[in-house]
Structure 1
């Protein structure tokens, strides 16, 4: 029997925006090879597979066209929207390879679903100087390009992401990179998420470019795991106060404008809020 794949876009700021995800609701019994094959055929940044239903939610696995990834935020949000549309809104717990993720869904009067996704316990760590030197070389950056007060760190909220904040807006928009070289570096260092490059546009607003070379994809339009990791990063460097809501705009460099709302509590998981809609 052919596998039914639902297609949704998450975090869209306007029609045609957001990050597309595949969702397979009945993946119990599918092999790793079958899931990877489906993800390759779908050819989105990630496809989420519901491999089991639990008493309070579901167990999910995620595949990009290249490999399995521990966690994918936008596909999690899309899956939460699908389940809310079919089974009703409320709170669910999704079990993932990165840990348990809580999704709270609310349905508006117009039928649209909003999802507040709270990450696993985040971590940050200084980036090894050699790692930063090699990453900067691939991105064509030098130390002086980094915004003062925003040290380069690795941040985790489901996946490890190097986080780089650039001071100059023109450099942020115009830098180039070699996708093959970056993909090799990511594999070597275990960066299973994106390389997150930010520019601050207001005290609590950032524009993001999330670099994710996988197959034909080089840059992610909207990255929930990176948004959560960004919230953890900003908390770690003291750039936000507890209870702040950070607005992250992403995707215009690839023609898919997106908005992610990031709530940063004093401690614990970071909450990323957004919605998802079917792709015609």
Structure 2
């Protein structure tokens, strides 16, 4: 992999949405003077082996607040337009280098500002997603997804409809009746991957609503070559848009998404839902040993 780290580039590993290196979602963060070729980035992501590796190169001045960075995200299988946990990890890595402030990530879906600040001596980051959107999920799509899992329609929450939700990447928000149902999730990897590829879905965001402000989530990610994400910032932003569209929160509102528990990598994602515009997603990130 050293041949890919030219121009003084570095490759770091951080877990996002946790303060404990045994929790959260690990991400690779590659920072260099210019972005490698796409096939090199995909190969590096495969070698790193995490669900996502972010690749960053400066776009103009990189000193201090309001610096701009070109960013691309790769899973072991393919490029992803936007990844929340790798954005949080990347922003904390930049904050360690350049200090607190606002870093603007130039992504495939548009500019994503990320504010880095200190909280109790540890750096945290808050991204603001592109404007969210969504629409009711087609019954046929939901049926296809269920057929690839061990769930049936009776396991879904009748009060929370399934929806296609976007805040940088498309997700199927799939609410279930109970925490026990969520914990029981199993699926056929290739079957679900094929359904998701056909509908341009990044993850299936299975959620259980504990209360109006607390959601538990599991996110299968077979399209990226990964069984499941322990924390999915882009899906959390999409969920914030879903809650606003469905009038399930009264903006401005704060909710928390708890994820990764069933994988043994607990994560906590803070989501702020404003009255309009992008959704704010916040979390800490900690370094991992290579």
User: Normalising to structure 2: TM-score of the pair?
Assistant: 0.92
List runs of 5+ in structure 2 lacking aligned partners. Answer: 62-66
Deviation of the 1:269 alpha carbon: 0.4
Asked if structure 2 preserves the Cα contact closer than 8 Å seen for 1:103 and 1:118, the reply is yes
For the residues of structure 2 that align with 1:43 and 1:185, how far apart are their CA atoms? 23
Could you tell me which of 148, 172, 181 is aligned with 1:171? Answer: 181
Deviation of the 1:218 alpha carbon: 0.4
For the residues of structure 2 that align with 1:167 and 1:58, how far apart are their CA atoms? 41
Aligned equivalent of 1:190: 200
SS in 1 for 2:148: helix
User: Normalising to structure 1: TM-score of the pair?
Assistant: 0.95
For the residues of structure 2 that align with 1:161 and 1:217, how far apart are their CA atoms? 15
Asked if structure 1 preserves the Cα contact closer than 8 Å seen for 2:21 and 2:286, the reply is no
For the residues of structure 1 that align with 2:270 and 2:53, how far apart are their CA atoms? 22
For the residues of structure 2 that align with 1:260 and 1:43, how far apart are their CA atoms? 22
Asked if structure 1 preserves the Cα contact closer than 8 Å seen for 2:75 and 2:225, the reply is no
Q: Does 1:32 align with 2:38?
A: yes
List runs of 5+ in structure 1 lacking aligned partners. Answer: none
Across the two proteins, how many residue pairs are aligned to each other? 278
Aligned equivalent of 2:232: 223
Deviation of the 1:188 alpha carbon: 0.9
Asked if structure 1 preserves the Cα contact closer than 8 Å seen for 2:19 and 2:285, the reply is no
Q: Does 1:207 align with 2:216?
A: yes
Q: Mapping of 1:101-250 within 5 angstroms?
A: 101-108=112-119, 110=121, 112-191=122-201, 193-213=202-222, 217-250=226-259
Cα RMSD for the two superposed structures: 1.6
Deviation of the 1:215 alpha carbon: 6.8
Moved more, 206-215 or 19-28: 206-215
Aligned equivalent of 2:13: 7
Aligned equivalent of 2:64: none
Deviation of the 1:190 alpha carbon: 0.7
Deviation of the 1:216 alpha carbon: 6.1
Q: Does 1:94 align with 2:105?
A: yes
Asked if structure 2 preserves the Cα contact closer than 8 Å seen for 1:45 and 1:214, the reply is no
Moved more, 33-42 or 173-182: 173-182
Label 1:108 to 1:126 Cα distance change in 2 as closer, same or farther (>3 A).
closer
Deviation of the 1:251 alpha carbon: 0.3
For the residues of structure 2 that align with 1:234 and 1:137, how far apart are their CA atoms? 26
- What are the superposed Cα offsets for residues 93-114 of structure 1, whole Å, 9 maximum, x if unpaired? 111001111101112462x111
